Amino acid sequence: MTAHFSHLDLLESESIHIFREAAAQFRKPVLLYSIGKDSTVLLHLARKAFWPGKLPFPILHVNTTWKFKEMIAFRDKWVKEFGLELIEMTNHDAIAKGVNPYDYAPSIYTDIMKTVPLKAGLDKYGFDGAFGGARRDEEASRAKERVFSFRAEGHRWDPRRQRPEMWRLLNGRLGAGETARIFPLSNWTERDIWRYILREKLEVVPLYMAKERPTIERNGQILMYDDDRFPLKPGEKPVMRSVRFRTLGCWPLTAGVESTATTLEEVVAETLGARVSERSGRLIDHDQVGAMEKKKQEGYF
Partner 1 sequence: MTAHTALKESNVTPLLKPGALATAAPELSGLLRVLTCGSVDDGKSTLIGRLLWDATDLFDDQRATLERGRRVDGGNPDFSLLMDGLVAEREQGITIDIAWRYFDTATRRLVVIDSPGHEQYTRNMASGASHADVAIMLIDARHGIKTQTRRHAAILDLVGLKRVILAVNKMDLVDWSESRFRQIEHEFRTLMWRFGFREAVAIPVAAVSGDNVAAKSKHMPWYTGPSLLQHLEEIPSRGTEPVGAFRMPVQTVLRDTRADFRGLAGTISSGTIRVGDTVLDPVSRRTAKVQRIATMDRDYEEAIQGQAVAIQLDTDLDVSRGSVLAAPEAAPVVARTLEARFVWLSEVPFDKKGSYLVRTATDLVPVTNIEIKSLLDLDSLAVHPATACKVNDIAIANLALGRATAIDRFAEAQETGSFMLVDAISGATIAGGTVTAASPDIQQQDNVFLLTRAMLARGLCSDVANTPEGEAEFRRRSNEVALLLRSAGVAVEVESLPDYVI
Rounded to 10 degrees, the C-alpha dihedral 230/206/220/188 comes to 120
The answer to whether 227 touches 47, Cβ cutoff 8 Å, is: no
Is 96 near partner 1 (CB under 8 A)?
no
Q: Which is nearer to partner 1, 96 or 289 (CB)?
A: 289
Is 261 near partner 1 (CB under 8 A)?
no
The answer to whether 231 touches 102, Cβ cutoff 8 Å, is: yes
Listed ranges 101-109, 156-164, 220-228, 245-253: which one lies at the site for partner 1 (CB under 8 A): 156-164
Max intra-chain CA distance, the chain:
69
Q: Which is nearer to partner 1, 135 or 213 (CB)?
A: 135
Listed ranges 92-100, 158-166, 230-238, 256-264: which one lies at the site for partner 1 (CB under 8 A): 158-166
Whole-number Å distance between alpha carbons of 85 and 88: 10
Is 87 near partner 1 (CB under 8 A)?
no
Q: Where are the beta strands (DSSP E) in 96-236?
A: 129-131, 148-151, 179-182, 211-218, 221-224
User: How many residues interact with partner 1 (rule CB under 8 A)?
Assistant: 69
Is 220 near partner 1 (CB under 8 A)?
no
CA 243 to chain centre: 21
Is 102 near partner 1 (CB under 8 A)?
no
Is 275 near partner 1 (CB under 8 A)?
yes
Whole-number Å distance between alpha carbons of 262 and 89: 32
Whole-number Å distance between alpha carbons of 224 and 239: 9
Q: Which is nearer to partner 1, 96 or 166 (CB)?
A: 166
Count of all residues that appear for the chain in the document = 301
Is 239 near partner 1 (CB under 8 A)?
no
Q: Which residues bind partner 1 (CB under 8 A)?
A: 1-14, 16-17, 20-21, 23-24, 47-53, 136-137, 140-141, 143-144, 159-160, 162-169, 171, 173-175, 178, 186-187, 189, 191, 195, 198-199, 268-270, 272-277, 280, 289-290, 293-294
